[in-house]
Amino acid sequence: MRILLTNDDGIHAPGLTVLEEIARQLSDDVWICAPAEEQSGAGHSLTLHHPVRLREHGDRRYSVTGTPTDSVNLALRKLFADKRPDLVLSGVNAGENLGDDITYSGTISAAMEAALAGIPAIGLSQAFRDSGAGFEAATKWGAKVLAPLIDMQMAKRTLVNVNFPALPADKVGGIRVTRQGFHDYARGSLAEGTDPRGRKYYWFGLQDAEHTLDHGTDLEAVEDGYIAVTPLQLDLTHHSAIDRLASRFAS
């Protein structure tokens, strides 16, 4: 099995080393193509306004001077002339990607890019929340969570979002299959200041947003100390609204 690893925290991120350890328990054919710099919050952006460079850092190890989406897109076009990857893993992100976080997430967007290309894809994120446990849950549980997923036939244009709770490995309750939750809108922190030229600026922060813990969601599972495994789809159509909308436009 050929596995491509990527992330949004950049090629030098500790979470990528964790992911590499996990992936090597599953295969000897592990490739890395990750952003040269941190790209958290980059979402599914593709760099259009300037060129990007693909740099070789060693055997099967590359960086791209662009976004997570650039990294996966370019890797699939330029690195695999003989055989495409069988699986793309993105992460392990330093911080959770729960609820609507996924719409901003470079980690999940890299997995989305792979899913759009028809390759099974899994995003992995480690919640921190000042637990002091670091990547311990992801390190110890990673291969165990991935094993049942990798030989499963995923539907086209779908992916899986895995989040590890902020706990030492032996305190993790287990694995729950969940649905995506939502945070209450009014996101995170916002710092305000004045720049050296006297102009006001704003700076978005990543402080935890408030959320309602709806039953069965990824947010609830991680709060309860479980690993959340959430299937996601790229078909964003709100199918049940099609008929209602059509009737609004019927003459």
> Near Mn ion by CB under 5 A, which window of 2-10, 18-26, 49-57, 203-211?
2-10
Nearer to Mn ion, 41 or 216 (CB): 41
Q: How far apart are CA 79 and CA 83, in angstroms?
A: 9
Instruction: Annotate 80-99 with b (16+ C-beta within 10 A) or e (fewer).
Output: eeeebbebbbbbbbbbbbbb
> Near Mn ion by CB under 5 A, which window of 8-16, 166-174, 179-187, 241-249?
8-16
Omega within 30 of 0 (cis) for the link into 92 = yes
Which residue's Cβ has the minimum distance to Mn ion? 40
Find where tokens 């306004």 sit.
49
Residue 178 binding Mn ion, by CB under 5 A: no
Nearer to Mn ion, 40 or 109 (CB): 40
> Near Mn ion by CB under 5 A, which window of 40-48, 69-77, 225-233, 238-246?
40-48
CB of 68 to Mn ion, least distance (A): 9
Residue 220 binding Mn ion, by CB under 5 A: no
- 88 to 117: interface string for Mn ion, x by CB under 5 A: -----x------------------------
Name the DSSP class of 65.
Answer: S
Residue 9 binding Mn ion, by CB under 5 A: yes
Residue 71 binding Mn ion, by CB under 5 A: no
CB of 48 to Mn ion, least distance (A): 22
CB of 238 to Mn ion, least distance (A): 28
Task: List the beta bridge partners of residue 54.
Answer: 64
Dihedral sign for Cα 13, 99, 104, 132, please: negative
CA 179 to chain centre: 15
Ramachandran quadrant class, 160 (left: phi over 0; alpha: psi -120 to 50; beta: rest): beta
Q: Extract the tokens encoding 142.
A: 């990673």
CB of 249 to Mn ion, least distance (A): 41
Nearer to Mn ion, 120 or 123 (CB): 123
CB of 209 to Mn ion, least distance (A): 16
Task: List the beta bridge partners of residue 4.
Answer: 31, 88
Residue 161 binding Mn ion, by CB under 5 A: no
- What are the Cα distances from residue 54, in Å, to 57, 65, 196? 10, 7, 35
Among 30, 32, 40, 141, binds Mn ion (CB under 5 A): 40
Residue 163 binding Mn ion, by CB under 5 A: no
CB of 40 to Mn ion, least distance (A): 3
Find where tokens 């990607």 sit.
97
Q: Which phi and psi (to 5°) does residue 231 adopt?
A: -75, 135
- Which residues are near Mn ion by CB under 5 A? 8-9, 40, 93
